[in-house]
Amino acid sequence: MILCVTPDKKLNGSCCVPGDKSISHRAALVGSMAEGKTVIHNFSRGADCCRTLQCLEALGVEIQQENGKLCILGRGLNGFCEPDDLLDAGNSGTTMRLLLGLLTGQDFFSIITGDPSLRRRPMGRVIDPLVKMGAEIRARCDNTLPPICIRGTKDVHPVEYILPIPSAQVKSAILLAGMNAKGQTTVIQQLPSRDHTERMLQYFGAALTIKDNIICLQGKRPIEGQLIQIPGDISSAAFIMAAAVLVPGSQVLIKDVGINPTRTGIIDVLRMMGAEIDVLDQRSWNGEPVADLMVRSSQLKGVEIKNPLLPRVLDEIPILAVAATAAEGETVISDAAELRVKETDRLKALASELRKMSVEVKEKSDGLIIKGGQLRAARVKSWGDHRMAMALAVAGLIADGETIIEDAACIDISFPDFPDVMKALGASIRVES
């Protein structure tokens, strides 16, 4: 599939974005570990979250889809069944890493694999703590790469673990394993990462407390099924926000977006760059803050993006790099080496594709330096990465002619309706096979 984008149409109106991908994964996983029924509204329809559901079904979880809502019949903390085939996490790092946490507390054998991109992503970061908690794990390349074989245990050891990197997936894997530990699991984070697992477990009634950057969880305490409404994904909204800021004369209202403070770095950075964004009608859905975002076009200036902000804009670097191309002066992104082990090496991919659009960009080991200037229309490619595909489509809206994005079917991973939503707001985007 290719996307063909032409500039010069302003964006106007209101829209919604898909249910948050991170929260959807957690609602399904935690709901499966609960007693009784969990009902989830606005579950992400992206391919990544479907993988989580398929893996849970393969582990014996009954899942029904009725009128846009999802019903999960929980199996309790350790009532899952041994799968009779490989579990396939597809492109989804979150599915693989969080599921390994859940499987640590299941007294059976499973093998989990993924697509070629996921089979290149580092898993030692979750294998190390989960082995300390009692799982037997074997993986390719000296226990670092998928496929991964895991044999869980009824007797998960509680650990005290200092996270070596600010990763929500590692933190969440330990906490899900800790749900089956006899005693207290403690996770210490040096820089906070997204906290949806903590909020979801608390909402389900788990004995989890947070003080400063220390998370404590008492294991072996059953949790009860809940009713959940998933907020819109701010990481999907980010593409629309940037498009509205960048295309002159635009004004867009994005409704029901999750504004968890561990995720709102995109609003902070765009505002630092000079964007006009209003956060309206703040409310809370199952322990997660939600609001409507009003975004208007503005002239931007270059900024510095680095720690401690980085974990809060981790997934938004591709679209911020595009915003930087339209800013006056230079934007310097640092402390972002983690982007090299995402769905693709995003630093390398951004440098390569933005150069095709005549951007002056320097690749550093941990970031990028981008100089603002007029984007040239070009034929670019997504590198099989959904966030690259959508960021480049937004770049096409401010280029000087028709931009073609190759290999764009990957937008299905998180935002299958992206072209339709953009078209409804007035953008000129065509999908061709």
Residues annotated as catalytic (active site), given as ranges: 315
Distance CA 95, CA 25 (A): 7
Taking the CB of residue 335, how many other CB atoms lie within 10 A of it? 16
Q: Residue 410 interacts with ligand S3P (CB under 6 A)?
A: no
Nearer to ligand S3P, 230 or 399 (CB): 230
Q: Minimum CB separation from ligand S3P for residue 70, in Å? A: 18
Nearer to ligand S3P, 75 or 194 (CB): 194
Q: Minimum CB separation from ligand S3P for residue 430, in Å? A: 28
Binding to ligand S3P, residues 14-43 (CB under 6 A): 22
Q: Minimum CB separation from ligand S3P for residue 336, in Å? A: 11
Nearer to ligand S3P, 32 or 167 (CB): 167
Q: Minimum CB separation from ligand S3P for residue 276, in Å? A: 27
Nearer to ligand S3P, 87 or 397 (CB): 87
Distance CA 323, CA 383 (A): 20
> Residue 168 has which token pair?
């929500």
Q: Minimum CB separation from ligand S3P for residue 60, in Å? A: 24
Distance CA 61, CA 55 (A): 9
Q: Minimum CB separation from ligand S3P for residue 415, in Å? A: 13
Taking the CB of residue 160, how many other CB atoms lie within 10 A of it? 12
**Binding string, 50-89, against ligand S3P, x = CB under 6 A?**
----------------------------------------
The footprint of ligand S3P on this chain (CB under 6 A) covers a number of residues equal to 10
Q: Minimum CB separation from ligand S3P for residue 93, in Å? A: 6
Q: Residue 290 interacts with ligand S3P (CB under 6 A)?
A: no
Nearest to 103 by CA among 135, 129, 147: 135
Candidate list 94, 286, 331, 382; residue touching ligand S3P; CB under 6 A: 94
Nearer to ligand S3P, 287 or 372 (CB): 287
Binding to ligand S3P, residues 182-201 (CB under 6 A): 193-194
Binding to ligand S3P, residues 306-325 (CB under 6 A): 314-315
| φ, ψ (nearest 5 deg) of residue 122 | -70, 130
> Residue 45 has which token pair?
């329809």
Q: Which amino acid is at 366?
A: D
**Binding string, 153-172, against ligand S3P, x = CB under 6 A?**
--------------xxx--x
Distance CA 9, CA 74 (A): 48
Q: Environment class of residue 267 by beta-carbon count within 10 Å: exposed (0-12), middle (13-18) or buried (19+)?
A: buried
Nearer to ligand S3P, 157 or 340 (CB): 340
Q: Under the rule (CB under 6 A), what is the footprint of ligand S3P?
A: 22, 94, 167-169, 172, 193-194, 314-315
